[in-house]
Amino acid sequence: MNDTTRRTIIQGAAAAAVLNSRVSRVLGANERINIAVVGAGGRGTNHLQEYCKLPGARVAAVVDVNQAAQEKASALVERESGHKPKLYYDMREAYQDKEIDAVSIATPNHWHVLSALWAVQAGKDVYVEKPVSHNVWEGYQLVKAARQYKRIVQVGQQSRSIPHKMRAIQLLQEGAIGKIFMAKGLCYKRRKSIGHTPDEAAPAGVKWDIFLGPAPLKPFSQNKFKYNWHWFWDTGNGDIGNQGVHEMDIALWGLGKTAFPKAVVSTGGKYLYTDDQETPNTQHAAFDFADGTKLEFEVRGLLTLGEGGLAARGNIVGNLFFGSDGVLSVDGGGFQVYKGEDRKLEMDVKAQRGPSDTGMHMDNFLSAVRSRKHEDLRCDVETGALSAAYCHLANISYRMGRRLAIDADARRFVNDADANAMLTRKYRAPYVVPSKV
């Protein structure tokens, strides 16, 4: 054992000892749940806005590596709720606060599991953005931790709380289009070139080392920071793991799949642009199941038209389900059922205006925090881990350049050491997801 490995183990054990010494307080029936929001960028700002609207929540702390984002978040919370939250650069300091009941995570993807895992070990319940994981292995480590520490962990796949999507899935399960043989997820979301940005010193007030966390230490550049981190393999998963994971989740939900497929193949590329982006802007993935059913998925970041009843009206983000008796299409605007040989439109349900999708999903999270039953969650961590895993399986096939056979029970590729190595990553100490949670 070398010095670096020994030091990492010691640091991990010390951190676990500190975190495990913290236990969540007992909530009164009408007491508001104190929440620390981790990550105050675009999505994190939305978290702050939604929690400030919910009577059962109180934003007690904000964690961000960027001082400017901290100050903006603090002003928002004070304006909306009348109090100033505590501010932190390092989430571990916030997790030591016994007044914090729950953590809401809106960091870049590569931080999702570790920030949630540390919170769970500290006795906090967790709402974590999608995709729940940056790779397959760590997602299931978080599932283990949630069960071991008896924590409530909701994943921000809010389609599970949207009434018309819940109704569409119910109809599929009731046989509205007969026996389903295939689902297709569509992520046709326009993405323009990010261009080139040079390596430079991190701006004042930005803790770049903490931002990188588990990822390799590399120089700062603007493209690797705000939002565009999605398009780098170290920190993001491309659009299949960004917007696409929502549609992947709906496809699995509608098909009734709760396990891995038997094979995956994914092709595509980054077309037209010469820029800093590493992930594909055009991608097709196909998953085969032992029962003969199929799941297909497409990412198109360039100009495109609609498909299968989902009209060309800018971004086309939704799902198609194909059955023996017809087709069901569903997106943010509603769902449609087409039946028979002439594909007659038999049902056209529009989305109803009401509370925000995220707000409804967060309210479900708060309810489960009070009930202490993870079964009450609409998107428990195990559901989120599966949806994220399918995105990761597709990306592994794309990066390996070949079809991959899968042992669904073992959640591993068959006789393929190179592909199996991509089920996890090399973590940068001390930001390590432990093998034993």
Percent of the chain scored above 90 by pLDDT?
90
Whether 173 and 295 map to the same domain: the answer is yes
Residue 321 lies in a domain: yes
**Looking at the predicted structure, is the pLDDT value of residue 99 above 90?**
yes
Whether 303 and 376 map to the same domain: the answer is no
228-235: Cβ within 8 A, 24+ apart: 228/194, 228/276, 228/277, 229/108, 230/108, 230/109, 230/279, 231/194, 231/276, 231/277, 231/278, 231/279, 232/276, 232/277, 232/278, 232/279, 233/278, 233/279, 233/399, 234/110, 235/108, 235/109, 235/110, 235/134
Domain that holds residue 402: 162-196+233-351+389-419
Q: Which residues contact 373 (CB under 8 A, 6 or more apart)?
A: none
Whether 17 and 107 map to the same domain: the answer is yes
CATH number at residue 52: 3.40.50.720
Whether 80 and 180 map to the same domain: the answer is no
Residue 370 lies in a domain: yes
Q: Which residues contact 375 (CB under 8 A, 6 or more apart)?
A: none
Residue type, 170: Q
The pLDDT assigned to 354 comes to 86
Q: Output the CA angle 391-396-402, nearest 5 degrees.
A: 120
Whether 143 and 281 map to the same domain: the answer is no
Give the closest residue to 95 by CA, choosing from 61, 72, 127: 61
Residue 38 and residue 115 in contact, taking contact as beta carbons nearer than 8 Å: yes
Residue 152 lies in a domain: yes
The pair of structure tokens assigned to 84 is: 């100033």
Residue 151 lies in a domain: yes
**Looking at the predicted structure, is the pLDDT value of residue 16 above 80?**
no
Residue 167 lies in a domain: yes
The pLDDT assigned to 15 comes to 46
- pLDDT tens for 230-246 read 999 999 999 999 999 99
**Better-predicted residue by pLDDT, 215 or 311:** 215
Virtual torsion, Cα 34, 56, 115, 206, nearest 10 deg: -70
Could you give the number of structural domains in the chain? 2
Whether 148 and 297 map to the same domain: the answer is no
Residue 339 and residue 177 in contact, taking contact as beta carbons nearer than 8 Å: yes
Residue 431: pLDDT band (50, 70, 90) is very high
Whether 251 and 143 map to the same domain: the answer is no
Element (H, E) at 126: strand 125-128
Whether 136 and 37 map to the same domain: the answer is yes
Whether 301 and 374 map to the same domain: the answer is no
Residue 306: pLDDT band (50, 70, 90) is confident
The pLDDT assigned to 307 comes to 86
Residue 203 lies in a domain: no
The pLDDT assigned to 144 comes to 98
Please compute Rg for the chain using Cα positions: 22
146: left (phi over 0), alpha (psi -120 to 50) or beta: alpha
Whether 19 and 72 map to the same domain: the answer is yes
| Residue-averaged pLDDT of the chain | 94
Residue 315: CB atoms within 10 A of its CB come to 17
Residue 245 and residue 385 in contact, taking contact as beta carbons nearer than 8 Å: no
- State the Cα–Cα distance between residues 358 and 362, nearest whole angstrom: 6
Residue 427 lies in a domain: no
Q: Which residues contact 124 (CB under 8 A, 6 or more apart)?
A: 22, 24, 36, 95, 100, 101, 102, 103, 151
Helices and strands counted in the chain (H then E): 12, 16
**Looking at the predicted structure, is the pLDDT value of residue 27 above 80?**
no
The pLDDT assigned to 5 comes to 42
Residue 388 and residue 245 in contact, taking contact as beta carbons nearer than 8 Å: yes
CATH number at residue 400: 3.30.360.10
- State the Cα–Cα distance between residues 65 and 91, nearest whole angstrom: 9
The pLDDT assigned to 53 comes to 97
**Looking at the predicted structure, is the pLDDT value of residue 322 above 70?**
yes
Region 266-271 average pLDDT: 98
Whether 309 and 371 map to the same domain: the answer is no
* Residue owning tokens 């994943």: 155
Residue 206 lies in a domain: no
- pLDDT tens for 30-57 read 689 999 999 999 999 999 999 999 999 9
Residue 14: pLDDT band (50, 70, 90) is very low
Whether 39 and 166 map to the same domain: the answer is no
